[in-house]
Amino acid sequence: MKKGFVFAVHSVLGLLSGLFILVMSLSGAALVFHQELDSLQYPQVSAVQNNALLPIDSMYYKLQRKFPHAQVSNCGIAENNTSPFIFSVYDSSYQNGTAAMQVFMHPQTGEVLKARGGSNDVKNNFISWLAGLHSSFHLGKTGEWLLGFFAVIFLLSLVTGVVLYRKNILSVLL
C-alpha cells in the first residue's frame, strides 16, 4: 500500500470518527449528571408553614385517587419540604399503560404538581432527549446501526493510524 493512500484514508476516517466521538463524549458526559440536570426540570415546590412531610402511604392514597388505575413502579421520596415526591406509574390514561409516566406531588399537601411522560417524553424532558441522541441519534434501530457503523469507522481510523505510525508508535503515543 502506498503511504499517501493510507494517510488519506486515515485522515477521512479520523474526521468522520472525530465527529462521532465529539457527539458521544459530550452527550455521555452530560448523562453522567442526569439526575442533577433532570432535577432542574422538576416543578417548583413552595413549603407550607408548620407542615411536615406527608407519609408515603398518604401520598400513595392521594395518587390512587387522582390516577385510580395507576400501577406504581417506583417512588422517589422527597428529601425536604421543597422537593417533590416523584412517582413512576403506568396508567391507562397515558399511552394505554404501556409507558411510564412521572407524577410529581407536593411533599406537604399531596397535591399533584405535574405529570410528565417519564423517559418517553422527549418533548418536555431534556435528559430523555439527550439519552435518545446518545443511544440512537433519535433514529430507532437505524440509529443503532449508524452508531455501530461509526464505531467501525473509528476502529478503521485506529488501524490505519497504527499502520502509518508503526515505526514510531511509541513516540507518537508518548
95 CB-contact burial (10 Å; exposed 0-12 / middle 13-18 / buried 19+) = middle
Give the pLDDT score at 121.
58
Q: Are strands 101-105 and 71-76 parallel, antiparallel or unpaired?
A: unpaired
Give the pLDDT score at 91.
85
Residues of the chain with pLDDT under 70: 1, 118-124
Beta bridge mates, 105: 85, 112
At residue 90, the 3 state secondary structure works out as strand
Complete edge-to-edge strand list for the sheet that includes strand 101-105: 71-76, 85-90, 101-105, 112-116
142-157 per-position pLDDT tens digit: 999 999 999 999 999 9
Give the pLDDT score at 44.
86
Give the pLDDT score at 124.
63
At residue 99, the 3 state secondary structure works out as coil
16-39 per-position pLDDT tens digit: 889 899 999 999 999 999 989 988
Give the pLDDT score at 51.
82
Give the pLDDT score at 107.
93
